[in-house]
A and B are shown apart, each in its own frame.
Chain A
Amino acid sequence: MHAERNDGPVPGGQTFYDNIILLLILGIVVPTLVYTVWGLVEIMNVPKLPIVP
């Protein structure tokens, strides 16, 4: 499927796309920060309902 070209210098973008581990790290960090961590911080900062004696 889709023969690769192995001649000539490697463009910077291709180096980035070829690094599957870097993509894995970014794929975990970006959504975790923007969705999960940010959301959890907001939830933790919701004031608790005061308990009426």
Chain B
Amino acid sequence: MANFDFRTCSISGLKIDKASENLVRWNLIAAFATLAVGGLFALLVALTRWPSVHLLPLEFYYRFLTLHGIDALLAWIIFFEIALVHFTSAVLLGTRSYVPWLGWLAFALMLIGGGVINVIVLLGKADVMFTSYVPLKADPIYYLGVILFAVGALLGFIIFFINVILSKRDGGYKRSLPLGVFGLGAASIIAVLTLLHGAGIFVPTLLWSMNLIPNVDPSAYRLVFWGLGHSSQQINVCAMVSVWYMTSAFVVGGKPVNEKLSRTAFVLYILFINIASEHHLLVDPVLSTWHKIVNTSYMMHLAVLASMIHAFAIPASMEVALREQGYTRGLFEWVKKAPWSNPAFSGIAISILLFGFLGGITGVIFGTEQFNIIRHNTWAITGHFHGTVVAGTTIAFMGFTYLLIPYIFKRELIWKGFATIQPYLYGVGVAILSIGMMSAGAFGIPRRHYDVTFSGAPFSFTFDPAVDMFMSMMGVGAVLAVLGGVLYILIAFGSVIFGKEVQ
């Protein structure tokens, strides 16, 4: 390893090789950029669903909604996760990136794929929404873009396995992977399965769109698509929990109270969390009740058990670490003295709280067959996954960015005061947005719909007037969240470009 270009981070003490550093940096930069684009689409979509604003014309609303999902749900999060793959499998193990060329190939494919999708949707050649359910047919280039992005992501996650196996050979670790790396390993395993499902459904759909095969069975499409669509969110859950553990360790010196239990929880994710894809099919008439019940009521709750373990293990690790630092007065001095002004810490604290109470609990409720029939395809579901993916994963990743900028970019944060309030502003905004969506959904407001007043429709229908308040609540929350998001983007890019260099 002496031939490779390593440096030692003066803040974290991490040994970082140049190739890994560059891969982490560029994947993070791509993540920041795609979040900026996805966030802009989020604002435009939210201002359209807010009835008193109703901003966009019809066709742009649906196109921007699709791109909001592509850029903010897939691109931002997966670019960040690939950065985490390089950070954990090389930097945290103190070894080098063994296949940097593969990392750059993966990066290029994701960048090209993401760009192709954005252009083709904006051109109006893929008005099939995010789910692109057949027999809705888009231009073949759209499916090609999705496949390029997915193959790039798959290669990116495969790098994790190559790095950890070769790192063990070279003595990077002896027996067990550190817990944060193990968590990203679990995320990478889920990612491989997820992206194989993506290939399994988008390759035949591409051939169908080119008229090379006669049809794709819509039921089979829905089944396999959600093996990609929902499972990609399980990669996020796993990576997010891993970030919780790592941030606790870096910021307060937290160590899991029972590491075996935390690892067991990750293994439960590996085996059972992907099965939560069945949520989307609970009202599907094709599949049997047994398939639905086994995949949700039985298997999925083993993954929920894992989340419950992490939900107690991580705050407990913080409590133990802070008590060891002397904050032992009463039951809660450790809470009071926790570093709430450190945005990395407040980011994961807010992420844990909101993910648990907004995203997690509602996910379990909506995942039961009886309740799913009432809430399916209402805005309550959108409120649920904004509680998981945005209030959970995105805020955790934002918090971790405040550690990665000095560690990887060797820059101090600019606007430290704004950075302190950013996770709170974003968290409050997303919480209001999510609760607004779930409350409106409880009154039957459909998800995705352009105009719930149904103006110009041949039949009239009026929702309970209470929905106006909840939809406006969503709009106010969205504006606050976008302000928090703009602050994050400015601080991230500003620190990378103008931040004082860390010696």
Contact = CB atoms under 8 A, between A and B. Distances in A.
Contacts of A38: 291
Given A2-B178, A35-B227, A40 B220 contact: yes
Interface string A29-41: 0111011101110
B86 interface: no
Contacts of A31: 193, 227, 231, 271-272, 274-275
Interface of chain A: mostly helix, strand, loop or mixed: helix
B161 A24 contact: yes
B175 A1 contact: no
B175 A35 contact: no
B175 A10 contact: yes
B295 A43 contact: no
Contacts of B333: none
Interface of chain B: mostly helix, strand, loop or mixed: helix
Interface string B171-215: 001111111111001100110110011000000000000000000
Contacts of B263: 17
B185 A23 contact: yes
B177 A18 contact: yes
User: Which one of A10, A21, A24, A42 has the greatest number of beta carbons of chain B within 10 Å?
Assistant: A24
Interface in B244-297: 246, 249, 255-256, 259-260, 263-264, 267, 270-272, 274-275, 277-278, 281, 286-288, 291, 294-295
20 contacts: A2-B178, A2-B249, A2-B255, A4-B175, A4-B178, A10-B175, A17-B182, A23-B270, A27-B271, A27-B274, A30-B271, A30-B272, A32-B193, A34-B275, A35-B274, A35-B275, A36-B223, A36-B227, A39-B281, A43-B219
Interface of B: 92, 161, 164-165, 173-182, 185-186, 189-190, 192-193, 196-197, 217, 219-220, 223-224, 227, 231, 246, 249, 255-256, 259-260, 263-264, 267, 270-272, 274-275, 277-278, 281, 286-288, 291, 294-295, 299
